[in-house]
Amino acid sequence: MATLNFDGSKLYRAKGTPKLPPKVALALLNQSARTSSRSLYDPFCGGGTILLCARKYFPNHYLTISGADIDPLAVEATRLNLLDSIPETELLQNIVPRDATKDTLPTGTDLIVTDPPFGRRCPVSEGFLEKAFLNFRNQNVQDIFFCYDGKTPLQNELKRIYTVKEFKRDWGRAFYHAQAK
């Protein structure tokens, strides 16, 4: 189990993109490291905190680390934040602009650890998360670890394709593990 030793305050972020505290990223990663899934992807990578923490605290654990965001500026921020820990060619291939609700994931992705958009700062339409999760499930993603406001109910569609268990509350959020049925 990794323990935190940086606060993320110096990380770049795209304007308007919330900054995820490293403690949240680490709580999700500590749980996800217990599964056998090893090809990590963050489809809503924002500033890349989760991906950076994965590199920093679990250097030999993941087979691949990749991420995407619909906002090209967020993709740029993530690339800058990962520049010291991932070779540049891999960064350009593995951190890309992509729409999580419909686009193809990197080959072999079995694990998602993410902080999806919701709430006032990142408004999305109703059913957005379910649409994205359905896309992940259709591409064989086994495990998803994510945080959410803890108030908006998760829809039945999501529970049909994944078993969803809450495992922690912190930073005004509930943390979940969605495991493929």
Ligand X SMILES: C[S@@+](CC[C@H](N)C(=O)[O-])C[C@H]1O[C@@H](n2cnc3c(N)ncnc32)[C@H](O)[C@@H]1O
Shortest Cβ distance from residue 32 to ligand X (Å)?
A: 13
> Is 70 a binder of ligand X (CB under 6 A)?
yes
Length of the chain: 181
**To the nearest whole angstrom, how small is the minimum distance from the Cβ of residue 67 to ligand X?**
8
Instruction: Give the residue with the Cβ less far from ligand X, 48 or 106.
Output: 48
- Report the distance separating Cα 63 and Cα 67, nearest Å: 14
Compose the 32-61 pattern: x for residues touching ligand X by CB under 6 A, - for all others.
----------xxxxxxxxx-----------
Q: How far apart are CA 155 and CA 127, in angstroms?
A: 7
> Residue with structure tokens 């039945």?
156
Look up residue 173 and give its amino acid: R
C-beta of residue 169 within 8 angstroms of C-beta of residue 151: no
CB 78, min distance to ligand X, A? 8
| Selected binder of ligand X within 26, 27, 29, 74 (CB under 6 A) | 74
Cα distance between residue 4 and residue 9, in whole Å: 13
User: In the complex, what is the shortest distance from the CB of residue 1 to ligand X, in angstroms, rounded to a whole number?
Assistant: 20
Residues 90-149 that bind ligand X (CB under 6 A): 99-101, 114-115, 117, 122
- Judged by DSSP in three states, 113 sits in strand
Q: Cβ 42 to ligand X, closest distance in Å? A: 6
Judged by CB under 6 A, the residue of 32, 56, 69, 178 near ligand X is 69
The enclosing H or E element of 126 equals none
Please identify, using beta-carbon distances, which residue of 15 and 181 lies nearer to ligand X: 15
Residues that bind ligand X (CB under 6 A): 17-18, 20, 25, 42-50, 69-71, 74, 99-101, 114-115, 117, 122
